[in-house]
Amino acid sequence: MSNPFFEAWDAPLGAPPLDRFQPEHFVPAYDRALAEHVTEIVAIAENPAAPSFDNVILALEKSGRLLTRVDSVFANLTSSATNEALQAIELEMAPRLSAHWSAISMHPVLFARLDDLFQARGTLGLDGESLKVLERYHLDFVRSGGQLKGEARDRLAAISQRLAVLGTQFCQNVLGDEEDWILPLTEAQMAGVPDAVRDAAAAKAAALKIEHPFAVTLSRSSVEPFLQYAEDRGLREQLFRAWTARGDNANARNNKAVMTEMLALRAERAGLLGYENFAAFKLDDSMAGTPAKARALLEDVWEPARIRALEERDGLQKLIAREGANFRLAPWDWRYYAEKLRQEKYDFDEAQLKPYFQLGNIIEAAFYTATRLFGVTFRERRDVPVYHPDVRVWDVLKGEAVIGLFYGDYFARPGKQSGAWMSSFRDQEEVNGHIMPIIINNCNFSKSDPCLLSFDDAVTVFHEFGHALHGLLSHVRFPRLSGTNVARDFVELPSQLFEHWLEEPDVLTRFARHHETGEPIPNALLDKLLAAKNYGQGFATVEFLASALVDMDFHTLPPGSDPLEAQAATLARIGMPDEIVPRHAAPHFTHIFGGDGYSAGYYAYLWSEVLDADGFKAFQEAHDPFDPATAHRLYKYVYASGGTRDFAAAYRAFRGRDPHIDALLEGRGLTTPVAA
């Protein structure tokens, strides 16, 4: 059988032939890739020469190239274009891949050679980046059980395999619940919904081939606009309950048992590695360092955020009363009445914005910002193979030289995980030649023509493109230190910092243009947008912090704790307002249960926000949002340096000092009370 993985890739920049991959290609490719990697690892471990940087670290960095190629394609397809066949392979491969990596990190002879190098690191004459990658490899192996022996080593490997399977099951369960639920809607049921949202719902109904003229699904970009505008309170409740029940329904996809087992296994894993709990293990390799420091930040922001949210709640309740209703504000009412109150307080209707926020223009706005800051330009091309017709591809250029490829996959569809994320088909590096990055952004906007975005959706485009730039601008030697291979509470700095430029008048007046007339957003509307930008920050901060605090509590609990009871206990302890629910309820909290990525790490968004809010002040202090000197430091110490530097030192090199929390509170409007 012809298998693209076993052939040279002759697409531009060696891009993967994404139009050719079929499910039957992956298992044979994994079989060969794993076997090749095992042979390479054995050769490194059994090398008769004394351990050296070249025959251990450099050899490890050069190994597993076919496996990296297969993994990158498979991971992107299973998140962006999956099907039953791919999901079956995903479940089959999860324990095999976990066992493979456990065998490497726990290989006693290989670890002994690595440890010898690490102990002698001060005598090797290594440059800073080489020393950093040696230290990173040693820490990776230690945290994966390299120092364990006997039963403890075997048990940790078994735990890792089981967690890989459970994380895959968790995501597949959430996706299944999302795809099984559709809310068909009639013309009358769309009362109150503005034209742009109606058009998206109509396009959704047409794409799903249902008989009703409109439809809403459980994608966030479909749910939230309906909750914000639909007059029918019963329909809002129906949609809200389905949305918040993902992974917690009375069906085979209920995630309670999966979560319970994952939390117990993570706690056991941490214990085997010598940590009090999983949060202590996870944060030991982070900027925060300890759960106590991460929790302190969350709790410092919680009280002012909760006070603001309660003020907002009281204002919404008064609005309900003024309209002559006598019901108590419920979670499915919040967005609807918050939008009404915003219009009343600021003479500002968010629906007025959508005609000015066309997806194509916002992408161009992100490109323009990158050009002004970092001197890179973008050139769309149509000769690069893609896995779906909606995917767009651009060359990324520095001067006349191409430095990478950027893919954009912006629309929701069946077989695609919800949310928004950045990933890569290839990371930048110099070990295996001059390897240019191939980076992809995924979003889940409702497809329509034209695709008009809310302001929050536009922020999402900028956020994910900030991540993409972190990968595209990487300028390091070693794959292990490339791009976004950084601490979890640092990785959100480039993405969240990039969001600030969307609010710059220069960017908005250039790219926020009416999709029919081409006229720029009126200054009066722009002024209202910026004046109202902190409106609703109590709600937004509370729903985030609740999820972050639940996550931290989950990973400090004794094994065997019921996750739903633990979630309820946390919300009661912090005084969660009844009218707000966490941004991610536990049964569909894929950030923390879809793998280890943000487990005990959801706080990282807030930690990084301290950095990004303070960091943008550097441009404000320079009186120029595109100040060349400040942008150069940002490029050198944040976007280009990957994991080659200590992250706190990297921030100080950019900013000239440590960050202050004041900028975060000011940016969220939480420094002074606001009357309801």
User: Of 175, 206, 230, which residue sits at a domain end?
Assistant: 175
Same domain, yes or no, for 149 and 199?
Answer: no
Average pLDDT, the chain: 96
Q: 398 - beta bridge partners?
A: 376, 401
Predicted pLDDT of residue 530 = 87
Whether residue 13 lies inside any domain: the answer is: yes
Report d(CA 167, CA 593) in Å as an integer: 6
Same domain, yes or no, for 220 and 151?
Answer: no
DSSP per-residue codes, 485-548: -S-HHHHHHHHHHHHGGGG-HHHHHHH-B-TTT-PBPPHHHHHHHHHTTTTTHHHHHHHHHHHH
Whether residue 151 lies inside any domain: the answer is: yes
Predicted pLDDT of residue 200 = 93
DSSP, collapsed to helix, strand or coil, labels residue 630 as helix
DSSP, collapsed to helix, strand or coil, labels residue 64 as coil
Scan for tokens 């992107």, then name that residue. 76
> pLDDT tens across 600-645, in order?
999 999 999 999 999 999 999 999 999 999 999 999 999 999 999 9
Up-side HSE of residue 615: CA atoms within 13 Å toward CB?
Answer: 30
Predicted pLDDT of residue 348 = 85
Same domain, yes or no, for 202 and 74?
Answer: no
User: Residue 292 above 80 pLDDT?
Assistant: yes
Contact present, 301 and 670 (Cβ < 8 Å): yes
**Average pLDDT of 517-528?**
93
**Average pLDDT of 86-111?**
97
Instruction: Give Cβ neighbours of residue 659 (< 8 Å, ≥ 6 apart).
Output: 610, 611, 614, 615, 651
Cα-flanking dihedrals φ and ψ of residue 378, to 5°? -135, 135
**Average pLDDT of 353-382?**
97
Whether residue 186 lies inside any domain: the answer is: yes
Range of the domain at 161: 4-175
Same domain, yes or no, for 48 and 62?
Answer: yes
Contact present, 275 and 289 (Cβ < 8 Å): no
Same domain, yes or no, for 8 and 113?
Answer: yes
> Cα angle vertex 438, ends 471, 503, to 5°?
50
Closest CA relative to residue 200, chosen from 229, 183, 218, 221: 221
Percent of the chain scored above 90 by pLDDT? Answer: 94
Predicted pLDDT of residue 351 = 86
H helices within 181-277, ranges in order?
195-208, 220-229, 233-244, 256-272
Predicted pLDDT of residue 560 = 82
Same domain, yes or no, for 94 and 72?
Answer: yes
Report d(CA 269, CA 143) in Å as an integer: 10
Instruction: Give Cβ neighbours of residue 522 (< 8 Å, ≥ 6 apart).
Output: none
Whether residue 17 lies inside any domain: the answer is: yes
> Cα angle vertex 89, ends 88, 94, to 5°?
105
Predicted pLDDT of residue 349 = 84
- Under DSSP, the state recorded for 445 is E
> pLDDT tens across 376-398, in order?
999 999 999 999 999 999 999 99
Give the C-alpha distances (Å, rounded to integers) separating 644 from 134, 235, 510, 638. Answer: 11, 52, 36, 10
For residue 328, the Cα-to-chain-centroid distance in whole angstroms is: 35
Same domain, yes or no, for 171 and 235?
Answer: no
Domain total for the chain?
2
Task: Report residue 622 as tokens.
Answer: 């320079």
Question: Confidence class of residue 676 from pLDDT cuts 50, 70 and 90?
Answer: very low
Per residue in 531-557, is it b (16+ CB within 10 Å) or e — as a string?
ebebbbbbbbbbbbbbbbbbbbbbbbb
Percent of the chain scored above 70 by pLDDT? Answer: 99
CATH number at residue 167: 1.10.1370.40
Whether residue 225 lies inside any domain: the answer is: yes
Active site residues: 464
DSSP per-residue codes, 162-206: HHHHHHHHHHHHHHHHHHH-EEEE-TGGGTT--HHHHHHHHHHHH
User: Residue 263 above 70 pLDDT?
Assistant: yes
Q: What predicted TM-score, i.e. pTM, was given to this entire model?
A: 0.95
Same domain, yes or no, for 14 and 87?
Answer: yes
> pLDDT tens across 558-597, in order?
888 899 999 999 999 999 999 999 999 999 999 999 999 8
